[in-house]
Amino acid sequence: MEDQMKVFGSNLDDPERNYQNVLPPNRAKAMKAKSGVPSFGNASHMGCISSRASKIVLYILVCVSLLMATAAFLLACLKFIPQCPKGWLKFKTNCYHFSADQQPWEMAMSNCQSLKAHLIVIDDKNDTDEQEFLDRLKNSSYWIGLRRYPKDKWMWINGRPFPELTQSVENNEKENCMYNLWKDSKSKKKKTACTEYLPYICEKEQT
């Protein structure tokens, strides 16, 4: 009797073994085999995450590539858009360079030509926008591209004649070059000697 109680007690101490003893032999073997097989659920989940991350990275790379291609295209297009050189000011379709020094008329013209430009020409009396633009930025006198040629003919450097009678020009027959006089917050054209030292404005079209 005492030996039977010990066996019964030992069986209670090992419930898993008792459970397996109760199961049919085939079911017990199947459970042991199943317990030894690794689970593929987590591996499948990790594979989905990895695939999704790869797609996101690929999408980002494609977007970056498109942005870089667009930027390169825009930069290439800018080369064909007319622009003014650095240090020049733009107004409508022209570029303007305001000198920091003072020179005689001939030297001022030569300096402008070295910049592939010319002394400023304001030959359209009906277009006051350009003169107003210059007056706002250059509140001082400056050379313009206008002078007297033989036979008392005043002409702009672009070959257009200067209708003197319709312009505000002070008479001084000894002077052969014209400058823009700034006085009392107004500008007007005035004759002077070409050897005078004055500031000047260079002008050229956008390139």
In DSSP terms, which residues pair with 94 in a beta bridge? 91, 205
What b/e readout covers 168-182, taking b as 16+ CB neighbours within 10 angstroms?
ebeeeeebbbbbbbb
Residue 69 lies in a domain: no
Measured distance CA(145)–CA(8) in Å, rounded: 124
Q: What is the pLDDT of residue 149?
A: 83
Q: What is the pLDDT of residue 165?
A: 45
Which residues touch 104 (CB under 8 Å, ≥6 apart)?
194, 195, 196, 197
Distances (CA, A) of 159 to 16, 27, 66, 121, 154: 114, 112, 51, 10, 10
Dihedral (Cα; 116, 121, 124, 125), 10-degree rounding: 160
Q: Are strands 118-119 and 201-205 parallel, antiparallel or unpaired?
A: antiparallel
Minimal CA–CA distance to 170: which of 190, 154, 192? 190
Q: Which domain holds residue 100?
A: 89-162+173-205
Residue 73 lies in a domain: no
Measured distance CA(48)–CA(50) in Å, rounded: 5
Residue 38 lies in a domain: no
- CATH number where 106 lies: 3.10.100.10
Helices marked H in 79-181 — which ranges?
A: 105-114, 129-137
Ordered per-residue pLDDT tens for the chain, 207 residues: 555 555 445 554 555 555 455 555 555 555 555 555 455 556 566 667 777 888 888 889 889 988 988 888 777 766 667 789 999 999 999 999 999 999 999 999 999 999 999 999 998 777 788 988 998 888 889 999 999 887 778 899 999 988 764 444 555 567 899 999 988 888 889 999 999 999 999 999 998
Residue 48 lies in a domain: no
Residue 196 lies in a domain: yes
How many CB atoms neighbour CB 109 within 10 A?
A: 22
Helices marked H in 23-124 — which ranges?
A: 25-36, 41-78, 105-114
Q: What is the pLDDT of residue 166?
A: 43
Minimal CA–CA distance to 154: which of 179, 128, 129? 179
Measured distance CA(144)–CA(154) in Å, rounded: 12
The total of structural domains in the chain comes to 1
Residue 120 lies in a domain: yes
Distance of CA 189 to the CA centre of its chain: 39
